[in-house]
Amino acid sequence: MAYSCLLCRSHTPNAVTVKSSVCHPFPSQGATIKRNEVTGDIVVARIIHGGLADRSGKAVHVWHVPVIPSGMDVNPSVSPLKAQSQGTIVFKLIPISDCPVSSQTMLYVRAMASYCPQQDPAIPCADAGVPFRKGDILEVVDQTDMLWWQARKLSDHSTCAGLIPSSNLLRRKQREFWWSQPLQPHTCMKSSKDDEFNGFNRGVYIGSNHQPCYVRCPASCYSAMASPYEEVVRYQRHPEDRYRLIVLMGPSGVGVNELRRRLIEINPQMFQGPVPHTTRPPKSYEEVGREYHFVPRETFEQMVYNHRGHAAMTSLAAPTSICLPPQVIQGMRTHELKPYIIFIKPPSISQMRQTRRSARIVTEYYTHRPFKEEDLQEMEEAARWTESQYCQFFDHVIVNETLQDACVHLLTAVRRAQDEPQWVPASWLRPESQS
């Protein structure tokens, strides 16, 4: 039998047969199908990049979609596949010699939101979807469809792409999801003193003096909706740039100062740490300009958003490590600063009970007292919250279980930041495109 192409109507006697069931639109064979709303005919909607069809047929134009109810062969030209068809579908995949040259430009993006195709009833084929989490780097290989792009996760090393919602579609989904959420109290970063930066210098503080805020919280959830994908490019520190700014952040008490101190101690030539700025009030034993520069919140925000933060941090010539509250991270991610952000994460509570036995926490009231159970719980909760809100901005995560291991990991991460290429926002290398 000769087969005709649905799109170009050319005929060929040679074809590869691929079988699939009607209710599963062939993601493994590398295509999805769709129904024509008027005629009810089912046609191939797209060829998945890197899938079987793409690799063996190279052929958007050569798919043939006859339906074979219960093993019977049917002439496709007289029996188009209908939405109510049942049984087995046979695809005729016809190799073509003239492979169309793709005019698509490759786009790399960092996901600013998570997506699960299995939980999305609107996706054309959940099995062909690519699940991703905040922070994943995606290679977008096809944006021709307004709603569904094709992409692959770089970490998967798989050749086959899959479906992801386009930027506009994902933004729309997020907005719909946001509006459908009930106003419920949840633990958020809103303190009763209306000072989100109080109580931590770069980590979060969730304490009993915090009022509940609501799931529909413009500061956190809604900001993520602005652009669900951030375009990224590979960046390698220029040899003329002597230093790369390393930002350490983590919940209060996790060991950021300790690690920073040790890093500088190990190699004072390479690492310098400016006295960081904080918006919290000084503790009883702290001296202005020794542990921190204590500045009002407005000044702090002004410094960061007007890039005066840059001036303040670089005044010590080697802005190797600074400590910041998580909310400031977004404002810091600029072409001028190009920060490499390392999140210092506490280990499990049981591991902290072991490792922090002789450690001393510094609080507002006691200079050095042993860690209490609630300190550990607060730290774990704060870390979980920070990760859920900001993990897309972390270049690296270090679990601080033992100080020795954490130090080794930190050294390795810092060297990597200095010497190896990383994915950074494209706007950092195209500053003129910044708004």
Ligand X SMILES: Nc1ncnc2c1ncn2[C@@H]1O[C@H](COP(=O)(O)OP(=O)(O)OP(=O)(O)O)[C@@H](O)[C@H]1O
**Which residues would be at the binding site for ligand X (CB under 6 A)?**
201, 250, 252-258, 355-356, 359-362, 400, 402-403, 406
- Report d(CA 60, CA 80) in Å as an integer: 18
Element (H, E) at 107: strand 107-111
CB closer to ligand X out of 16 and 359: 359
CB closer to ligand X out of 77 and 348: 348
Q: How far is the CB of 361 from ligand X (least distance, A)?
A: 6
CB closer to ligand X out of 7 and 362: 362
Q: Tokens at residue 19, please? A: 């079988």
Integer CA distances (angstroms), 42 to 16, 73, 427, in order:
20, 17, 42
Q: Which residue is nearest to ligand X (CB)?
A: 255
Integer CA distances (angstroms), 216 to 180, 220, 330, 336, in order:
9, 9, 19, 33
CB closer to ligand X out of 209 and 434: 209
Q: How far is the CB of 185 from ligand X (least distance, A)?
A: 27
- Report d(CA 227, CA 205) in Å as an integer: 27
Apex 178 CA angle, 177 and 180, nearest 5: 65
CB closer to ligand X out of 89 and 263: 263
CB closer to ligand X out of 320 and 400: 400
Handedness of CA 343, 349, 353, 355 (dihedral sign): negative
Supply the DSSP symbol for 316: T
Q: Is 93 exposed, middle or buried (0-12, 13-18, 19+ CB in 10 A)?
A: buried
